[in-house]
Every structure is written in structure tokens, then in C-alpha cells.
Amino acid sequence: MTVRRFRLSERCFASLLILPVFLAISLVVLFPLAYSLWMSFADVNLLRATGPALELLGLRIPLFRYVGLQNYLRLLSDPLYWDSFGRTAYFVGAFVLETTVVGLGMALVLHERFVGRPVMRSLLLIPWSLSRVVVGLLWVGLLDVEFGALNGFLYKAGLIDRYISFLKSGFSALNVLVSVYMWNQAPFATLLLLAGMQSIPIELYMAAEADGAGYWQRLRYVTLPALRGILFLVLVVSTVNGFLMLDLIYVLTMGGPGNETTTISWLGFQTAFQFFKFGPGTAILYTLTVFCLLLTVLYQKVMFRKLEAEEA
Amino acid sequence: MPPAMLRRLASRTVVYALLALIALWLVGPFLWLFVTSVSYQRNLLARPLAFIPPEVTLDNYRMVVGVVRFHAEGQAAKILPSMLNSLIVATAVTVVNLVIGTTAGYAYARFRVPLKTFSLFALLFTRMLPTVVLIPAYFLLFRALGLQNTLTGLVLAYCSFTLPFTVWIMKAYFETIPTDLDKSALVDGCNRLQAYYWVVLPVSGPGLVASGAFTFMLCWNEFIVAQVLNTKLGTTTLPPVIAGMNAQINIDYSVIAASGFLAALPAVLLVLGFQKYMVQGLTAGSIKG
């Protein structure tokens, strides 16, 4: 009797459990996402809510004047957008590379046997758990041209005779942003990779050793192939995070000097919230959203393939 | 010494040298933040720089909490109230997540949900979505709703990036609990809701701790949304206040470091305290997809 009731209302019960989250997601994600998309096709005037409006539950949601593709067309002919695009590509590429290499390097060292392993793993969580605002100002303390500890160290060691201004030139500032963000994010990649390494059967290593494989050969033929899935995950997640990075730019460079650390996400943020041009701003941010959608599709395809392979 | 032992010794030395380097890389900057926060600015400006501070002081902290008056005390006076705001927002979002996100995670782990593939994809996309693209919409919607400069507005906005994670982590966690547990509860006469609430939830502590701590951390650390939406004095959270101090050139770095350290400490302690569960929960949630 109980078993029959279980079958009958299963879908209904499951739907009820999911309903609150879907209402919430629709309300705080899907609807705002659609509204932002609309704004990217509109001439948004924040002071005067002109044009038609959406009347919803007694609320008046302004729709402004529809201008078609105007915001996007202006954007595509704006050299600043393409410059930012190029910088974003560099930023994402360098960030993904650094995160993967440093994340994997730390994981390989931490996977060795040594005294104090749990402590080292805890340390991994420190950079990752900090607010990016704190991460930014903490690196100011290390890199500043007047009181930076790294400058102090180099000066003391006799390697420089004047403190370096790391954020003064655009290219150097961009690389500082990459590395600081990597400091914050690579530990999480390390955690994922360590979890992956722990699930590699020890027999594989024993077999490799019996065949006379040294450390690097074991890494090349046993460890890395087994970590393929997680490395892919790290690549996708760090690519998305690279595209979206905003808070560190705010704290460290504000997109400057000039526009030399202006990425697409910063350009969109600045256009929308410093110049209060919501139309062009949302258009810029939507080009970013499309990238994320594409990456999600890619990620899901690979994940599903992996899941099917596991089930087979 | 035989060559095998020598080689072993050499490899041990390399491992420990690398470990020391990694440890310095991971905690050095954070420790330096603490050092600067208990130093006088004049000692930070000295050349050569002393890595062990010649004078230790709590003055910076006194300024931050408003015990000692100084020229930028108006800025510093915002810190404690904004910390309270951060606490309220982060706690509220965590509660919402644990209540509604957990039940959804349970449904995904156990049942055939309508539109399962599509809705899971939507959640995954939400997880990867730039939150900043939603802010213009929040800005206008909250203005219409009168939620601008309110903590309620922030709680709603923060649910957008925390809920997908909670559902994901809890789904992965519930999948590790054997279904026999629910089934035997049903046989014993529980209805499905009772089975979930009285039998499954009580053994889900680690998953709940993982997603709760992670949600709290994300909200405590969030900066951009609070910076844009809550601009009125006294309505914002801690990160925008600290970023605002950082942007003012007339405030000594040592004072900013003290406020930064205060902002960092709760998140760091939370994560270190619950690290076992968080690492398990997050890796399972990420790897299992």
C-alpha cells in the first residue's frame, strides 16, 4: 500500500520540492536576465522613465524606447570595445594558464608524503576564502611603490635600488591582476586535483614502477591521463572566472592606467554604473553572457559524456 | 651513504623546500596583512623595511572600531555597522539556501523531476552567469519595489548566485546517502516529507554544513552588487566600505589593513573550522557535475 502511494505521487512530490527554488530562480535570475536583455535593445534614461511600461502586480516597470540593434552596432564599431576584447582574451589566457600550472604544481607537491599534510591543505583554503576586496588591498601591501613588502624585500636583497611601481604601466598592471587573481583561485584548482589524485588506484603506480617508470614518466602516463576530466573542469571554471573578474580591477586599477586594464566586464560595469548608460552597458555585458552560455554548453556536453561513460 | 639513500634524501629535501615555498606563497601575504595592521605606517615606509615590526600597536584597530579619534573617523565609523549588515545578509541568504536549496537538491538526487535535464542545465548556466549583467535589472526593479538601499534587496540578489551552488552541493551529497534509508522510513509509515525531514536530513549534516558555510562565505565576501545597489549611508555591507577606504589617499595603509584583516577573519575562521566538510562538499559538487 505504502509502496503504491510512493509511485503515484512521486513526480508531484518532486515538483513541490523543486518549486521554491524555481520560483526564486525565475524571480531573481531569469526575469532580471530578460529585463537586462531588453535594456540592451533600448534607450534607457534613468531620470525619466519614458516610453511604454510593463504593468505587473501593480508595479510599473519601465521599458524605455526600443532602439533595435543600435547599442550593439555602436559597440561593435567602438575601438575601445575591441581593445578590451583583446585584453580580456590575454587576461583569460594568462589566467587559465597560470591557474592550471600553479594549481597542478601545488597539487603534485601536496600529494607527496610529508609531515604536516593536513596543515598544508588547510593553508590552501586561506587565499581562496578571502573577499576579493581584501585580496586586492593585501596585494597593495605587497606591491605598493612606497610601502610594498615585495619592494622592501627586493631592496633589502640589493636587487633593486628604487621601489618598483608595479601598477604604473598598463601591461605590468594587467599581469599583476592575472597573478593576484591566480593567487586567489589556484588553491581551489589544487583541491579539485588533489581529490582526483586520491582516486587514482595505487596499483597503477605500482605497475608503472615495476615497469621501471621514473617520477616524470609516472606523471606523464598515469597521473595526467587520470586527471583529464578534472583538468577540463579546471580549465572551464577558470575561463569563466577569468571572463567575469571585476572586483579586483575595481580595487587595484579601476581599469587604468588609461584604459589599459579595461576588460569587457570592467567596460560593461563602467558604462552601466559609472556613466549610468544602461543600454550600452547591458549590451556589453550581454556579449559576455553569450560566452558563458557557450562555455556552459561545452561543459555540460563533456560532463554528460563522462557520466554516460561511467554508467556504461 | 649508499646512492639510493642519498637520492631519497635529495628528493625529500626538494619536497620540503617546495612545501616551504608553497606555504610562504599561500599564507605569507595574509600574514603580512596582519603585520601591517599592527604596525605604524612610518615603519612600513622605512627603508630598509623591517619584516619584524620594530613597534607593535593596536592603534589601527582602535581607530577602526572608533575608540581613538583620527582624521578619517567618519570612514572608519562605517565599519562596524556595515559588518552587522554583512552578518544579517549572509545569515538570511544562508537560511533561505538551506531551506529551499536543500529540498531541491534532494528532489534531484532522488526523483524523476519534470524537465530534469533542462532545469539542471539552467542551474548550471546560472552558476556560470555574470552576476553583473543582472545588476541593471535589479537596479530598476528594486527602485520600483522600494528595495533599493535595503538589506532585503541584497538578500534577493545574493540568492541568484548562491542557490545554484547549494542545489548542486546538496544533490551530490544526497546521492551519497543510500536510498534504502528513505525506503525503510516509508515502510515504517512515514510519508515522503517525513522521510526526508526526520530520516534523511538528520544524517545530512556534513552536506548542510558544506553548503551553508560556502553560501555564508560567498555573501560575506560579495562586493560588486552591494557597491552598486546599496549606496546610501549605513545600508551597505563591509566590502564596499573597505574598498571605499582603500580608494582614499589620506587614510594610512595600516588602518586599511586593520579593517581588511577584520573583514577577512570571519570568512577564514569559518572556512578553516568547517574545512573537512567544505572540501568534501565542494569537490563532490564540482566533480560530479
| More confident call, B4 vs B228 | B228
The pLDDT score that the predictor gives to residue A2 is: 46
Please, are residues B252 and B76 in contact by the beta-carbon 8 Å criterion?
no
Candidates B27, B30, B132, partner chain A, best to mutate (most A CBs within 10 A): B132
Which of the four pLDDT bands, split at 50, 70 and 90, describes residue A6?
very low
Candidates B133, B168, B227, B280, partner chain A, best to mutate (most A CBs within 10 A): B133
B221 Cβ neighbours under 8 A, 6+ residues apart: A129, A130, A131, A132, A133, A134, B239, B267
Cα gap B164→B160, rounded to integer Å: 8
Q: How far is B26 from chain A (nearest CA, A)?
A: 6
A135 pLDDT exceeds 90?
Answer: yes
Chain B within 8 Å of A145 (Cβ-Cβ)? Answer: no
Cα gap B197→B200, rounded to integer Å: 6
CATH class for the region spanning B78-287: mainly alpha
Which tens digits make up the pLDDT trace of B232-272?
A: 888 999 999 999 988 888 888 999 999 999 999 999 999 99
For chain B, which residues make up each domain, given as ranges? Answer: 3-74, 78-287
Candidates A61, A117, A131, partner chain B, best to mutate (most B CBs within 10 A): A131
Distance between first and last Cα of chain A: 34
Contact A191 B279 (CB under 8 A): yes
Which of the four pLDDT bands, split at 50, 70 and 90, describes residue A284?
very high
Q: How far is A286 from chain B (nearest CA, A)?
A: 7
Percent of chain B with pLDDT over 90: 51
| More confident call, B87 vs A210 | B87
Which tens digits make up the pLDDT trace of A10-34?
A: 788 888 889 999 999 999 999 999 9
Chain A from 41 to 70: CB within 8 A of any B CB: 44, 46, 59-62
Question: What average pLDDT does range B41-49 have in this prediction?
Answer: 85
Chain A within 8 Å of B216 (Cβ-Cβ)? Answer: no
Peptide bond into A257 cis (omega under 30): yes
What are the b/e assignments for B151-166, b being 16+ CB within 10 Å? bebbbbbbbbbbbbbb
Chain B within 8 Å of A134 (Cβ-Cβ)? Answer: yes
Q: How far is A58 from chain B (nearest CA, A)?
A: 10
Which of the four pLDDT bands, split at 50, 70 and 90, describes residue B78?
confident
Which tens digits make up the pLDDT trace of A34-80?
A: 999 999 999 888 877 667 777 777 778 888 888 889 999 999 999 99
Question: What average pLDDT does range B205-234 have in this prediction?
Answer: 93
Percent of chain A with pLDDT over 90: 53
The pLDDT score that the predictor gives to residue B127 is: 84
Which of the four pLDDT bands, split at 50, 70 and 90, describes residue B288?
low
pTM recorded for the entire structure: 0.92
Chain B from 7 to 66: CB within 8 A of any A CB: 15-16, 18-19, 22-23, 25-27, 29-30, 32-33, 36, 41, 44-45, 47-49, 51
The pLDDT score that the predictor gives to residue A312 is: 46
Cα gap A132→B240, rounded to integer Å: 11
If you average pLDDT over every residue of chain A, what do you get?
A: 88
Which tens digits make up the pLDDT trace of B51-73?
A: 888 888 888 898 888 777 777 77
The pLDDT score that the predictor gives to residue B100 is: 94
> Closest Cα partner for A251 from B35, B246, B25?
B246
B223 contact residues in A (CB cutoff 8 A) = 131-133, 247, 250
Domains and CATH numbers, chain A: 34-68 (no CATH), 84-135+161-311 (1.10.3720.10)
